[in-house]
Amino acid sequence: MLYVIGLGLGDERDITVKGLEAVKGSERVYLESYTSILMVSKEKLEEFYGKEVIVAHRETVESQSDDILKDADKVDVSFLVVGDPFGATTHTDLVIRAHELGIKVKVVHNASIMNAVGATGLQLYSFGQTISVVFFTETWRPDSFYDRIKENTTLGLHTLCLLDIKVREQSIENLMRNRPIYEPPRYMTVNQAVEQLLEVETKRGEKAYTADTLAVGVSRVGSDDQIIKAGTLEQLVGFDFGAPLHSLVLVGHRLHLLEAEILRENAVDLERLNFVLKHDYNIDK
């Protein structure tokens, strides 16, 4: 049996009882390490589980999945995913490959940013399409997400922006020379995401959002030191959200009074927030 187990968002204790039982009964335990990160070390997981944890990098999961699935038709193997198992298409590919090999699969779900973003006070059923914001380079500055945001904006819906992480990335030179040398991990901040969003709006000029659009920046959701701050994009670009992981929500115009009240509780600048709520969202105090 292949168990695909969500770990939640915080630390080693966020695994479900069902997931922990599966881990303890597995012959091998893999930890997917490239679509997200947990806020504790692998060693902390091993201590809590009483099991060795094998780190599975992107190339392992995408190109060497048969190694993970080896003998999983005879013994139990656990594949651990930060958040929920189906937060990334890679994990669906692994499940499909297991089915092709006649291996039974059992999924154990958990919290992910896709539902934990409700901690912002914004109602989950008022969210539109989720988008990803990747690191810009000197020669690659993609803006395909802009059209998705514009569609959400037209409908008055909130937009969850998932921010890029770079783990075990190689420089162009090392890649060309086939040298297994990797760059230090990078995690996009709310500040970097806002700067890139505003750059794209300046280029496109279609008013999908502006510097005065309300947004909520979050970091380390699910941990004891999570940060949730609401303000305009212009305000959030200067706020320090601390250590990763960060996410960003653009607030849609179909904003409920109760949602606005929670935004006030998390405001970077309450006076400015109230002005924008009244002027742009027609919500008074």
Question: Tens digits of per-residue pLDDT, 206-222?
Answer: 999 999 999 999 999 99
Determine the Cα–Cα distance for residues 243 and 253; give it in Å rounded to an integer.
30
pLDDT 10s digits, 21-72: 999 999 999 998 877 778 888 899 999 999 999 988 777 777 778 889 999 9
Among all chains, which residue has been given the structure tokens 């992981």?
Answer: 245
Does 249 have pLDDT greater than 70?
Answer: yes
Q: What is the pTM of this model?
A: 0.92
Does 78 have pLDDT greater than 70?
Answer: yes
pLDDT band at 200 (very low <50, low <70, confident <90, very high): very high
The pLDDT assigned to 58 comes to 72
Q: What percent of the chain has pLDDT over 90?
A: 79
The pLDDT assigned to 86 comes to 87
pLDDT 10s digits, 145-190: 999 999 999 999 999 999 998 876 656 666 677 777 666 788 999 9
Angle at 245 between CA 244 and CA 250, to 5 degrees: 120
Mean pLDDT is lowest, of 184-188, 233-237, 263-267, for 184-188
pLDDT band at 199 (very low <50, low <70, confident <90, very high): very high
The pLDDT assigned to 65 comes to 85
The pLDDT assigned to 64 comes to 77
Give me the DSSP letters along 81-142.
ESB-GGGSHHHHHHHHHHHHTT--EEEE----HHHHGGGGS--GGGB---EEEPPP-SS---
